Amino acid sequence: MVETIVWTNDGVVMIDQRLLPREETFFTARNYREMEYAIKEMVIRGAPALGVAGAMGVALGVQAGEDFDTVCNTLAASRPTAVNLSWGVQRMRALKAALGEVAREELVRRMIEEAQTTRSEDIAICEAIGKHGADLVVDGKTVLTHCNAGALATAGYGTALGVIRAAVSAGKKIDVFADETRPFLQGARLTAWELQQDGIPTTLITDNMAGHFLKSGRIGCVVVGADRIAANGDVANKIGTYGVAVLAKENGVPFYVAAPVSTFDLTIPDGSHIPIEQRPELEVTHVFSEQIAPTGIRIENPAFDVTPNKYVTAIICEHGVARAPYTESLKALAATKK
């Protein structure tokens, strides 16, 4: 399986997700400013992967002797919606505070170690999510997914795609419908590529086909990832997720969200408090540098939407499966010890 992000002696090496599936090129962030660039420009993306990138970015800054608070604040602000990014940075802040006054060499060593642990833990967490979610996947049916919540969006294995991988490993005969996910095309470029590499039967559909197939009776369930989940179970995920969730409910298809506890934001009561990132107009007016809309047309490009909890059948995390009322079930799962 592809290495999304690794710490090396030369810097943090990431597969450049802007270029997939045409090119498998790697981008190396040698300092925290290059990591900020990689996050903003979507060299690396996907909530859990951003958590690891945030932690590794802080380690780069500490290694170079940069001002700690500036590094942390810059990285945490580089993308606003996925709470995992500030979670990864906060983890490094907490370690620094716990270490107190230590020699510089020791601080650098511990920061690098912690950032690498964030990565290895994420893979184990995704595998646990997969195990909990595999039972929910209907044998012999199609799973529909939106965006990319796979190995590329995490340190490895994936959340929503982790559930699919685990269901396949458990012997379930399933296939996948991947929404292309306009405008950044994470479904077409990344999910389709990842699943094809694993030999999991996958069909690519455009976003506006989801309703048609959800009505057809072929889809056993929808599984998506998340960028931030509020205390009441409202879920922020890639733009278009809300529409899929409504269509799933209308057609009696279960809608599952797979995400680690680091995606829970129990400090906010509901989804209205989730900041929604606005991305550049160019992502809508152009497809691979080709202009597809008239010059000067007004553009909106929110990168995420919020699905109200009433459309969410269950939330799968590394500690188990949460169901409504989420205010209680999410709190209980978040408090589960590792």
- b/e burial code for range 195-232 (CB count within 10 A of at least 16 → b): beeeebebebbebeebbebbeeeebbbbbbbbbbbbbb
State the minimum distance, in angstroms, from the CB of residue 186 to ligand MRU: 5
What is the spatial distance between Cα 329 and Cα 314, in angstroms, rounded to a whole number? 10
The answer to whether 154 contacts ligand MRU (rule: CB under 6 A) is yes
**Residue nearer to ligand MRU on the CB measure, 45 or 165:** 45
- Catalogue the long-range contacts made by 90-96 (C-beta closer than 8 Å, 24 or more residues apart): 91/55, 91/118, 92/54, 92/55, 92/58, 92/59, 92/62, 93/58, 96/68
Instruction: Note whether 46 binds ligand MRU by CB under 6 A.
Output: yes
For ligand MRU, the closer CB: 69 or 300: 300
The torsion angles phi and psi of 320, rounded to 5 degrees, stand at 145, -160
Exactly one of 179, 227, 234, 265 is catalytic; which is it?
227
Whichever of 17 and 63 has its CB closer to ligand MRU, that residue is 17
Structural contact between residues 202 and 178, judged by C-beta atoms closer than 8 angstroms: yes
Q: Does 303 bind ligand MRU (CB under 6 A)?
A: yes
Contact segment (CB under 6 A) with ligand MRU among 45-53, 110-118, 168-176, 327-335 equals: 45-53
> In terms of CB distance, is 58 or 160 closer to ligand MRU?
160
Say how many residues touch ligand MRU, by CB under 6 A: 17
DSSP calls for 89-139: HHHHHHHHHHH-S--HHHHHHHHHHHHHHHHHHHHHHHHHHHHHHHTTSPT
48 binds ligand MRU (CB under 6 A): yes
Closest CA to 194 of 233, 153, 225: 153
Stretch that binds ligand MRU, among 54-62, 116-124, 206-214, 222-230 (CB under 6 A): 222-230
Which range in 43-51, 87-95, 136-144, 322-330 contacts ligand MRU by CB under 6 A? 43-51
Shortest separation between residue 14's beta carbon and ligand MRU, angstroms: 13
- 237 part of the interface to ligand MRU, by CB under 6 A: yes
Question: Would you say 95 or 153 has its CB closer to ligand MRU?
Answer: 153
Q: How many CA atoms lie within 13 A of 253 on its CB side?
A: 28
Q: Could you say which of 122, 179, 207, 227 contacts ligand MRU (CB under 6 A)? A: 227
Site for ligand MRU in 156-175 (CB under 6 A): 159
Segment contacting ligand MRU by CB under 6 A, of 220-228, 246-254, 309-317, 318-326: 220-228
Nearer to ligand MRU, 82 or 92 (CB): 82
Residue type, 132: H
- In contact, 303 and 239? CB cutoff 8 Å: yes
* Under rule CB under 6 A, residue 85 binds ligand MRU: no
- Of 51, 225, 233, 271, the one binding ligand MRU (CB under 6 A) is 225
Q: What's the token pair of residue 288?
A: 């691979």
Q: Which residue, 37, 1, 41, is CA-closest to 18?
A: 41
For the question of residue 227 being annotated catalytic, the response is yes
CA angle 108, 115, 194 (to 5 degrees): 145
Q: Does 220 bind ligand MRU (CB under 6 A)?
A: no
Binding residue for ligand MRU, selected from 186, 262, 307, 313, defined by CB under 6 A: 186
What span, in angstroms and rounded, lies between the C-alpha atoms of 302 and 121? 31
Query: Does 147 help bind ligand MRU (rule: CB under 6 A)?
Result: yes
Secondary element (H or E) of residue 243: helix 241-250
Nearest to 228 by CA among 141, 139, 305, 136: 305
Beta carbon of residue 219, minimum distance to ligand MRU (angstroms, whole number): 18
Which residues would be at the binding site for ligand MRU (CB under 6 A)?
Answer: 45-48, 82, 147, 149, 153-154, 159, 186, 225-227, 237-238, 303
Catalytic residues: 227
